[in-house]
Amino acid sequence: LKMRYSNYFGALGGVIFRLRHFLRSIQKDHQALQKIISTNGFDLIISDNRYGIYNEGIHSILISHQLRIDAPFSGFLDLPMQNFIEKFDEIWIPDTEERIGSGLLSKPRFSTNVPIKFIGFLSRFSLKEKSQKEYRFTLIASGLEPFRTQLIDYFYDNFALLNTKSCIVGGGRIAKEKNFKHIDIFEMLDSAALEQVIDRSEYIICRAGYSSIMDLLIKQQQAVLIPTPHQPEQEYLAKLH
């Protein structure tokens, strides 16, 4: 299911307006999985936050940090989520038992009989010895349009005014339009190169997505978190951290 945030209603509006399509996509996931199972002998299913990837006859595990929705009318939205959660045999939460990363998002609003296990932060990075800082600020641009482009344009214009070296990851388009020697711009970086940039940065500026937050917690990196407008999960996580 393709999602595009609205300038006016954001992610929550997109979910409400497309709720029927969202539920249909879960059903399609479930049906597709049953076809795969019919030709393969699986004995374990691990679903990365996809509510339709389960089977009644096979031990099914849901990995998710969000077991409730922090938004207006969240009780109404939590009911169908709870229904899908109950179809799994286990829930693995990528967080500590103290819920340092996810806060209340990983605490179901309604009681559940599904066993919950905290598996710690999941990150492609690791904590390393402190390196010499090259960048004062590094913007890591991610997410869907139109907010991704708005973020890049805003910070590029402001980095241009600063008398300090900065970096933008994910901004290849503007590199062709403007050129400031004190701003390094990369379109895409693999994990190793991105980790080097993070290690050489005093501050990371990024969206408040949970994967990014886990990376920052693992790296013990100072950051400025900017939630995608009208996306309740990111707004909650940005305030939490």
Q: Tell me the DSSP string of the chain.
A: -----BTTTHHHHHHHHTHHHHHHHHHHHHHHHHHHHHHS--SEEEEES-TT--BTTBEEEEE-S-SS--STTHHHHHHHHHHHHTTSSEEEESS-TT-TTTGGGGS-SS---S-EEE-----S----------EEEEEE--SSTTHHHHHHHHHHHHHTTSSS-EEEES-HHHHTT---TTEEEES---HHHHHHHHHTEEEEEEE--HHHHHHHHHHT--EEEEPPTT-HHHHHHHHH-
Distance CA 94, CA 67 (A): 12
Residue 45: band (very low, low, confident or very high) from pLDDT cuts 50, 70, 90? very high
| 3 has a pLDDT exceeding 50 | no
For the ranges 16-20, 56-60, 148-152, 176-180, the maximum mean pLDDT occurs at 56-60
- pLDDT 10s digits, 66-120: 998 776 555 666 677 788 899 999 999 999 999 999 999 999 888 889 999 999 9
Dihedral pair phi/psi, residue 84, rounded to 5°: -70, -40
Q: What is the reported pLDDT for 14?
A: 54
Q: What is the reported pLDDT for 17?
A: 58
Instruction: Please compute the mean of the pLDDT values over residues 20-42 and round it to a whole number.
Output: 88
**pTM, full prediction:** 0.84
| 172 has a pLDDT exceeding 80 | no
Lowest-pLDDT choice from 9-13, 44-48, 121-125, 193-197: 9-13
CB 78 within 8 A of CB 109: yes
Average pLDDT, the chain: 87
Q: What is the reported pLDDT for 24?
A: 86
Lowest-pLDDT choice from 108-112, 202-206, 221-225: 108-112
**Of 32 and 13, more confident:** 32
Instruction: Please compute the mean of the pLDDT values over residues 151-174 and round it to a whole number.
Output: 88
